[in-house]
Amino acid sequence: MANEPDSVDPSHALFERFVQAQTCKETQQNFNELCRHLEVEPRDYKHFYSKLKDRLNYWKAKDLWQKIDKRAAHLDYEQGQACHQNKCLVLGAGPCGLRTAIELALLGARVVVLEKRASFTRNNILHLWLYTIRDLLNLGAKKFYGRFCSGSIHHISIRQLQLILLKLALILGVEVHTGVTFEGLREPSGSTGWRAQVSPASHTAAAFEFDVFISAGGGRYVPDGFKIKELRGKLAIGITANFVNRHTKQEAQVQEISGVARIYNQKFFQALQTEIGVDLENIVYYKDDTHYFVMTAKKGSLLKKGVIKQDFSDVNQLLAPANVNQEALQKYAYDAADFSTDHMLPDLEFAKNHAGHPDVAMFDFTCMHRAENASLVKERKGKRLLIALVGDSLVEPFWPLGTGIARGFLAAFDTAWMVRSWGKGVPPLEVLAGRESVYQLLSQTTPENTSKNYAAYSIDPSTRYPNANLSLMKPMQVKHTVLDAHLH
Ligand code: FAD
C-alpha cells in the first residue's frame, strides 16, 4: 500500500540503505543483507531481478522497477533470451566495464565483473554528453543519486557514477567481485573452458568458465593479440585538484568554469601568469561532491615554480615522482583554483585521495593510445572466446573534449550488440566484421554527428549513428583478428 511507514517492513529500510549507500563496500553489504532478508539468491541470475521485484513490494522501489522494466522490454534483448547461454567475464568495474555488464545482463547472459580495487575513491568529476545523461536518467540514476545533473553544467564524479552503475548491475544479477585482480587468461584444458587467472588465486572467480571476455581495465592494458596505435601530440601536462565541498551558500554562489581555453580568454590567462606566475593553456572547474579543477599547465611555469625539479626532454623522466615536488604542486594547483574563482571559495582545503593524501595529481597526456581492433576471437581445444575492449583501453580519451564516458558508453552498447550476434550464433568472422565496422566511427563521434533522438538509443548501432555504413568491413578484412587458422 502506498505511503506505508518504512518501519512496517524491514526490507524497505534495507532497500533504502542499499539505494543510498555511499561506498562500494556499503553497497555490497546492504545488497547482500537485502537478498538474505528477502531470500533471493543473486547467483540465480536468470530469475534474480524478477524475484527481487516480486518480493520487495515497496512503492519507492516501484519507480525504479518501472524504469528498468522499460529498458529490459526493448526488443533487442529478446526478453533476456538473446544471450541466455553466454557467460561473460568483465575486467574492471570502472564506468565502462559496469555499463557493458548491465547491457550483457539485460541480454540474458551470466556476467561476472572483476575489480582489483576494494573501494571507489576517484573524486574527479566528468563532464557528460547529453545522451549519457538521458541514458543514466532512464536507468533511474536520480533514485540513487538525487543531485545527479542538477547543476548548470552536466557532470558527475567517477565515484558516484560507479556507485550508480554498480547498484544497477547488482539488481540485474551481475556478480561483482572487488579486491580481485585479473592476471591473465587460462586456456581450456580437458573439458574445462576459458577461465581467468586471478589474484588472490583461491578466489571463486578463478573457476568461472566463460565464452566472452570484456577488457575494460582503463589505462593502456590490452590482452594479448591486440595492437595499440599511438598518437603523439605536443607536450601536454595536466593537473587535477579536488577540494572539500562543504555545500555552503557561499560555495554554491561561485560560478563553475566549463572550459576556458587560452585563445578565448587571453586576458584571464595573462593575469594569472603575471599576478601569480601560473601559466595555463586551459582550466575547468566543476562543483559536485568536491570542488574539482583540471588544467593544462605549461612546463616553463612548472619549472619556475619548482613543481618540476629538473628539465628532461623525456616526459616520463620529467614527471617521474622523484622529479616532482608535491608541496609545490599543491601550492600551484591551489593558487590556480583560488585565482580562477576570484578568491570566492572560502577555506580551500584539499579533499583526500585513495591514499588519504591531498587529492592533487599531475599527469601527461602528450600521447593518446587507441587499439587497432575492438575485438577478436580465440579458439583453443574447440572452445571459442570472443574478446572485446571497451572504455579507455579501447580509445584513450582526450580530457579537454570530455569524450571518455560518451565514447565509452557508445562502445559499451556496440560491444553488447556484438555479443548479441555471438549469442545468436552468427559466424565469428561476421560478428567481428560488424563490430569493426562500427568501431571505425567511434573516434569521429561528436554530439553533433550522433543521433539527437536519445529516447530511441539502444544497443543497435543504427539508432545512434545516422547515415553510417554499419557493414563497412567485410569478413575477409577481419581474418587476422581470428586467432585460429581453421576458423578462417
Ligand atoms: P577506468 O575508469 O579506468 O576503470 C577501469 C577499472 O578497471 C578500474 O576501476 C581499475 O581498478 C580496474 N582494473 C584495472 N586493471 C585491472 C585488473 N587487472 N583486474 C581487475 N581490475 C582492474 N571523461 C569524460 O567523459 N568527461 C570528462 O570531463 C573527463 N575528464 C577527464 C579528466 C581527466 C583529468 C582524466 C584523466 C580523464 C577524464 N575523462 C573524462 C576520462 C574518464 O575518466 C575515463 O574515460 C573513464 O573513467 C573511463 O572509464 P573506464 O571504465 O574505461 O576505465
Per-residue pLDDT reduced to its tens digit, 305-330: 999 999 999 999 999 999 999 999 99
Per-residue model confidence (pLDDT) at position 1: 42
Strand partners, 381: none
Per-residue pLDDT reduced to its tens digit, 246-300: 999 999 999 999 877 777 788 999 999 999 999 999 999 999 999 999 999 999 9
Average pLDDT over residues 69-78: 97
Q: Is the pLDDT of residue 24 over 50?
A: yes
> How many angstroms separate the alpha carbon of residue 92 from the centre of ligand 1?
9
Neighbours of 477 (CB within 10 A): 14
Q: How far is CA 246 from CA 127, 149, 448, in A?
A: 21, 18, 36
Surface-to-core class of residue 345, CB atoms within 10 Å of its CB (0-12 exposed, 13-18 middle, 19+ buried): buried
> How many angstroms separate the alpha carbon of residue 425 from the centre of ligand 1?
32
Q: Is the pLDDT of residue 180 over 80?
A: yes
Neighbours of 5 (CB within 10 A): 7
- Pairing, β 367-371 against β 360-364: unpaired
> How many angstroms separate the alpha carbon of residue 402 from the centre of ligand 1?
12
Q: Ligand 1 pocket: which of 405, 407, 410, 443 to mutate (most atoms <8 Å of CB)?
A: 405
Main-chain dihedrals φ then ψ at residue 412, nearest 5 degrees: -65, -45
391: Cβ below 6 Å to ligand 1?
yes
Q: Is the pLDDT of residue 12 over 60?
A: yes
Task: Spell out where 26-174 has E strands.
Answer: 87-91, 110-115, 125-127, 155-157
CB neighbour list of residue 411: distance below 8 Å, 6 or more residues apart? 96, 374, 389, 390, 391, 394, 395, 439, 442
Task: Spell out where 193-279 has E strands.
Answer: 195-199, 212-215, 228-232, 237-244, 257-261
Q: How far apart are CA 448 and CA 275, in angstroms?
A: 39
Nearest to 481 by CA among 172, 225, 191: 225
Tell me the whole-structure pTM to 2 decimals. Answer: 0.95
Nearest-atom index, ligand 1, CA of 99: 51
Give yes or no for a contact between 413 and 451, defined as CB atoms under 8 angstroms apart.
no
Q: Is the pLDDT of residue 6 over 90?
A: no
Q: How far apart are CA 384 and CA 100, in angstroms?
A: 20
Q: How confident is the model at residue 487 (pLDDT cuts 50, 70, 90)?
A: low
Q: Is the pLDDT of residue 486 over 70?
A: no
Q: What is the CA radius of gyration of the chain?
A: 23
Q: Ligand 1 pocket: which of 113, 392, 393, 409 to mutate (most atoms <8 Å of CB)?
A: 392
Give yes or no for a contact between 384 and 377, defined as CB atoms under 8 angstroms apart.
yes
Domains in the chain, start-ordered, CATH in brackets? 1-73 (no CATH), 81-228+371-487 (3.50.50.60), 234-365 (no CATH)
Question: And the C-alpha cell for 488?
Answer: 578462417
Q: How far apart are CA 397 and CA 391, in angstroms?
A: 9
Per-residue pLDDT reduced to its tens digit, 332-383: 999 999 999 999 998 999 999 999 999 999 999 988 899 999 999 999 999 9
408: Cβ below 6 Å to ligand 1?
yes
Per-residue model confidence (pLDDT) at position 2: 44
399: Cβ below 6 Å to ligand 1?
yes
Per-residue model confidence (pLDDT) at position 152: 66
Strand partners, 127: 155
97: Cβ below 6 Å to ligand 1?
yes
Q: Is the pLDDT of residue 177 over 50?
A: yes
Per-residue pLDDT reduced to its tens digit, 213-233: 999 999 888 999 999 998 888
Q: Is the pLDDT of residue 3 over 70?
A: no
Q: Is the pLDDT of residue 7 over 70?
A: no
Q: Ligand 1 pocket: which of 103, 116, 122, 288 to mutate (most atoms <8 Å of CB)?
A: 116
